[in-house]
Amino acid sequence: MGAIAIADADPDSSAAPADSAGTPAPFRLSILDQSPISQGSSGAQALANTIDLARLADRLGYHRYWVAEHHGGPMLAGPSPEALIGPIAAATERIRVGSGGVMLPHYSPFKVAETFSVLAGLFPGRIDLGLGRAAGTDPMTTFALQRDRRHAGVDDFPQQLVELLGYLEDRLPPEHPFARLAKTLPGAPERPEPWLLGSSQQSAIWAAELGLPYAFADFINPEGAPIAALYRERFAEQEHADAHPRTAVAVWVICAESDEQAQLLAASGRMTFTLLRRGELIAVPPPEEAVRFLAQDDLDPGAPRSKRRAVLGAPAIVRAELEEVVASYGAEEAIVVAITYSHEARKRSYELLAEACGL
């Protein structure tokens, strides 16, 4: 894979980092943190770990730090990215901070616009608003999140998205009943940078039509390279003034001193997601327990197998494989996702990755 150029016109651009040999790194490097809760620990500790990891990412030179939205389970402690972004931005100095993402169907577009306007006003030039359509939970919890429970929620995500962008960009038509509200956003003139998140073809089409940068969840769907290509193709067909397609790919990565150690650390996440597919929710187990479980599970020929991609190994292996993934997507940025039982092991993974990628 050759180096991927980062367009000069990118409003989010910064100087591309160089690796230890002095050659430009082939992609920008960022983090998506799902705030994992380890077995025997607590959600409060997981949230403290998120702040701690964000400080480390800032020191190491990662470009952005996004926090996820998940509800109603024992494994992940991040149901409210909007509540975490402020403390993270306050605890760091230069890294961009945002949502990966806000699951818009749960919210009023105007409320989201106001909340992220506040954050943008407090931390100018550093706030991202990643937006998604998924529920981030099971159907019952989704229903619990609804304000009106007399009937199932309406699937009007495209309309929500257009309304939200209309507030942020002050582009609601004059006849729109809420048009005046766009001028009341409290953080103006600062504004967050919106991104559309997705793992399907439809999200790519919406991102292209609306002129948004696009982050694809390869850790959910590893078959997304053609979808990223479709995004760029559809984007080129639109007339977006002063805008160009920008692609990030979110990849599951664990980096360790050796390939064997990385595989061991990854067993914890493999066990949690294996059980998740069966409707069993658990906190992140110790790797030794996970290895025993997976050994037994592998003996069951009827057990469903995950098709998720994981980039695991020593630093040189991880960098090479990550370069291949980023190149296949034609992306300018890799957003790294990692879950381990040990917080220190997760921090060390990001340290080794930063060194390998020349941050």
Instruction: List CB contacts of 153: < 8 A, sequence separation 6 or more.
Output: 105, 142, 146
| Mean pLDDT of the 142-161 span | 85
Block residue for tokens 């064997």: 260
When comparing pLDDT for 258 and 149, which is higher? Answer: 258
Q: Which of 94-98, 150-154, 241-245 has the highest mean pLDDT?
A: 94-98
pLDDT band, very low/low/confident/very high, at 22 (cuts 50, 70, 90): very low
pLDDT at 16 over 80: no
Residues 109 and 99: their CA atoms lie apart, in Å, by: 15
pLDDT digits (tens, 9 = 90+) for 52-105: 999 999 999 999 999 999 999 999 999 999 999 999 999 999 999 999 999 999
Q: Give the per-residue pLDDT at 297.
A: 83
**CA–CA separation, 214 vs 197, rounded Å?**
6
Whether 335 and 32 have beta carbons less than 8 Å apart is answered as: yes
% of the chain with per-residue pLDDT over 70: 91
pLDDT at position 272 is 95
Secondary structure (3-state) at 157:
helix
Contacts of 89 (CB under 8 A, 6+ apart): 97, 119, 122, 123, 126, 127
Contacts for 41-50: CB closer than 8 Å, 24+ residues apart: 41/283, 43/77, 44/77, 46/76, 46/77, 47/77, 47/78, 47/84, 49/343, 49/346, 50/77, 50/78, 50/84, 50/88
Q: Which residues pair with 99 in a beta bridge?
A: 67, 129
Contacts for 268-274: CB closer than 8 Å, 24+ residues apart: 268/339, 268/340, 268/341, 269/338, 269/339, 269/340, 270/294, 270/306, 270/310, 272/75, 272/339, 273/306, 273/308, 274/303, 274/306
The sign of the CA dihedral 255, 259, 261, 263 is positive
CA-wise closest residue to 97 among 164, 193, 229, 11: 193
pLDDT bucket at 306, cuts 50 / 70 / 90: low
Rounded Cα gap, residues 218 and 250, in angstroms: 6
**Beta bridge mates, 132:** 103
Whether pLDDT at 241 is above 60? yes
- Lowest-confidence pick of 5-9, 341-345, 348-352: 5-9
Rounded to 10 degrees, what is the CA torsion of 270, 271, 273, 278? 140
Three-point CA angle 314, 308, 298, nearest 5°: 85
Q: Which domains does the chain have, with CATH numbers?
A: 28-258+305-356 (3.20.20.30)
Per-residue pLDDT, averaged over 46-51, amounts to 98
Per-residue pLDDT at 9:
32
pLDDT above 50: residue 119: yes
